Structure 1
Amino acid sequence: MQRRKFLKNSTTVTAGLISAPLLATQNNISTTSLMNEIPPTKPIVICTWDFHNASSKAWDILKEGGSSLDAVTEGVMMEENDVNNQTVGVGGRPDRDGKVTLDACIMDKDGNCGAVLAMQNIANPILVARKVMEETPHVMLAGKGAEQFAYEMGFKKTNLLTEKSKQEWIEWKKTSQYKPIINIENHDTIGMLAIDANGNISGACTTSGMGYKMAGRVGDSPIIGAGLFVDNEIGGATATGMGEEVVRTVGSFLIVELMRQGKSPQEACEEGVKRIMEKNKGRDDFQIGFIAVNKKGETGSYCIHPGFTYRSYSEVGHINNPSESYIKS
């Protein structure tokens, strides 16, 4: 028994995951129980796409012992404030009437959540979503109501339409064709998930939605369970891409539930995309990307078309991870 204990502990510390199953077999130790003794990866942050500044900001908070909720809030704000990012926040592409409307949601370790939908004139929708979560009995505020609430909370009115986005909209009106370009206009979201040093998980998602959408259109991004879902006992998931298809399968909730059933984050993301494609037989003109993290800090991603990536930042390093795809080329 002492030899068995020594070998088990040695494997956990030095050999890691590769030799653990073999050693467990040799010593009649359950592979599952051995894997459970491997320390989780924390803190860690992941986000959709190659948003280097966002993940860096979140990691700065996590490495100093900050909460996952603060990390995801501050992280996604980096993109809301970047006027060169035309899919999030200030400078986002307008709807077909020339108005920039923003959506965002946030969810904490206790299952508390807040969201704003189709909100105009406020630069940081993620902060307003957090105020909805923390200061009201509601989960979602929409349109003028969300905007008025933001003013009451001290937010300032801001012109969200930059000159660049305005000129592109004017050019678009010449043809008014609505054909989003995969991996360019389809990456209309930053979704972020983080685990802090205490092992608590939070998530945030923010977007300006599809460029030149119909006025009032809302996708998956501010919908808890679709664009984002967190269960602190299991993990979290978030989505990017054609929001209508994510809503139809309640994608992020589905992925977390699949992890609850024992699937890895990678397996769960793959199943999430496959469910969408089963509902869209013969159609492949849109992009969806999922990312997920479980309680151990294991991550996964999957998408429809090649080209989607996600950032991860932990003690292992700051990595832009290419995602496997349903369609290979």
Structure 2
Amino acid sequence: MKWGIIATWRMAKEGVEAASDMLKEGGSSGDAVETAVGMVEDYPLYKSVGYGGLPNENCEVELDAAFMDGDTLSIGAVAGIKDYKNPVSIARRLSEERFNTFLVGDGAEEYAHKNGFERRNMLTERARKLWEKRVKEIREKNLSPYDGHDTVGMVSVDSMGQMASATSTSGLFMKKRGRVGDSPLSGSGFYVDSNIGGASATGLGEDLMKGCVSYEVVRLMKEGMHPQAAAERVVYQFTRYLTEKSGKAGAMSVVAMNNRGQWGVGTNVEFSFAAATSEEMPMVYVAYPKGDKTVCEPASEEWLEAYTKRITSPVE
């Protein structure tokens, strides 16, 4: 049986590699996405997820995460949780509950504490310096405060045909306290059904929440559409619809995989992602829109080197 995993952004590559090793050995899709997302959450230089995630306007790191089991359609999610490591694991634990599967703020933190999850200050010195720099820029240059909404989202199918999806994010940089985007919302930020496939979105949550983007991609795959065609149709049709409605549409990217391990991507901006299957080694790709199509190309060495330099450069 074939297996596969696809994830948003270059930051997921090391997690995708680890997940691929698990899937090769017959590991489950649920364990694969939890492990891979957890690796992104733990790396302090990935500034839009987990430890080192960018703070809200009060310099607090509030995290959102979700997990979905494609066999049972069970979902667990947390939003606005502070000072707990690996919110994706908390979300997965919640997915095993019958009731109260989406918890926010203090309630999510109380659940995490009672269930033995590790407490940790998720604000790094680097993230604090970036926050201070942005506060200064807003004051001196009258810049918009908002930036950084790069959710890590994944979809996987294992050799038994079981599928899972997971997301994790710190949300908009300098967001209002308590702000939640699409990432933990079923059907919008993610959706997976082992009988069909799954999808996960990243971009401007305020716009992605206006439609059930991930669910719509899965629905089109159910009708027989290839993940690539489904992701493209949803992203471009919805981008046009939002523009007609309000005059603008924010950044929007979707990764998708069906239960045969075939994958696809739709995006209205330049976007990177990582994917691996039983037939394809883990690789980072760069995608960009061209008309109503999305072009996906392996990331060049120059692109990868520039990425590394960008995320490791000191905060000035």
The correspondence for 1:221, drawn from 179, 183, 187, is: 183
**Residue in structure 1 matched with residue 5 of structure 2 by the alignment:** 45
Q: TM-score, normalised by structure 2?
A: 0.85
SS of the residue corresponding to residue 60 of structure 2 reads coil
Residue correspondences, number: 283
- In the TM superposition, what whole-angstrom CA distance separates every residue of 1:117-165 from its partner, at most 9, and x where no partner exists? 1100101100110111114522200000000100001123211110111
Residue 280 of structure 1 deviates from its aligned partner by 2.0
Separation in 2 of the partners of 1:326 and 1:121?
41
SS of the residue corresponding to residue 106 of structure 2 reads helix
- In the TM superposition, what whole-angstrom CA distance separates every residue of 1:75-131 from its partner, at most 9, and x where no partner exists? 100000000111000110000111100000000121111000110010110011011
**Residue in structure 1 matched with residue 287 of structure 2 by the alignment:** 323
Kindly indicate whether residue 248 of structure 2 is the aligned counterpart of residue 283 of structure 1.
Answer: yes
SS of the residue corresponding to residue 66 of structure 1 reads coil
Q: 2:165, 2:192 within 8 Å by CA — same for their partners in 1?
A: yes
Letter aligned with residue 310 of structure 1: F
Higher gyration radius (CA): 1
- In the TM superposition, what whole-angstrom CA distance separates every residue of 1:246-278 from its partner, at most 9, and x where no partner exists? 111111011101111222111111121123212
The correspondence for 1:241, drawn from 203, 206, 212, is: 203
Letter aligned with residue 158 of structure 1: R
Task: Identify if the C-alpha distance between structure 1 residues 124 and 296 changes in structure 2 by more than 3 Å, giving closer, same or farther.
Answer: same
Separation in 2 of the partners of 1:191 and 1:221?
8
Matches within 5 A, 1:1-329: 42-50=2-10, 51-108=12-69, 109-135=71-97, 137-176=99-138, 177-178=143-144, 180=146, 185-186=148-149, 188-277=150-239, 278-281=241-244, 282-283=247-248, 286-305=250-269, 307-315=270-278, 316-325=280-289
Separation in 1 of the partners of 2:130 and 2:114?
33
Residue 324 of structure 1 deviates from its aligned partner by 3.9
- In the TM superposition, what whole-angstrom CA distance separates every residue of 1:209-267 from its partner, at most 9, and x where no partner exists? 11111111100111111100001111000001111111111110111011112221111
Separation in 2 of the partners of 1:280 and 1:293?
27
Separation in 1 of the partners of 2:198 and 2:26?
20
Identity of aligned residues (%): 35
Task: Identify if the C-alpha distance between structure 1 residues 326 and 106 changes in structure 2 by more than 3 Å, giving closer, same or farther.
Answer: farther
Letter aligned with residue 283 of structure 1: K
- Most deviating of 125-134 and 315-324: 315-324
RMSD between superposed Cα atoms in Å: 1.8
Separation in 1 of the partners of 2:283 and 2:137?
40
SS of the residue corresponding to residue 95 of structure 1 reads coil
Q: 1:72, 1:194 within 8 Å by CA — same for their partners in 2?
A: yes
Separation in 2 of the partners of 1:136 and 1:150?
17
**Residue in structure 2 matched with residue 25 of structure 1 by the alignment:** none
Q: 2:153, 2:166 within 8 Å by CA — same for their partners in 1?
A: yes
Separation in 2 of the partners of 1:204 and 1:134?
14
Residue 178 of structure 1 deviates from its aligned partner by 2.9
Letter aligned with residue 63 of structure 2: L
Unaligned runs of 5+ in 2: 296-316
Residue 203 of structure 1 deviates from its aligned partner by 0.7
Bigger share in strand: 2
Separation in 2 of the partners of 1:317 and 1:80?
23
Separation in 2 of the partners of 1:266 and 1:44?
15
Task: Identify if the C-alpha distance between structure 1 residues 167 and 322 changes in structure 2 by more than 3 Å, giving closer, same or farther.
Answer: closer
Separation in 1 of the partners of 2:30 and 2:119?
25
Separation in 1 of the partners of 2:211 and 2:114?
35
Q: TM-score, normalised by structure 1?
A: 0.82
SS of the residue corresponding to residue 243 of structure 2 reads coil
Separation in 2 of the partners of 1:248 and 1:283?
13
- In the TM superposition, what whole-angstrom CA distance separates every residue of 1:274-315 from its partner, at most 9, and x where no partner exists? 23212124435x32110101122111001111x212211123
Letter aligned with residue 183 of structure 2: S
Unaligned runs of 5+ in 1: 1-39
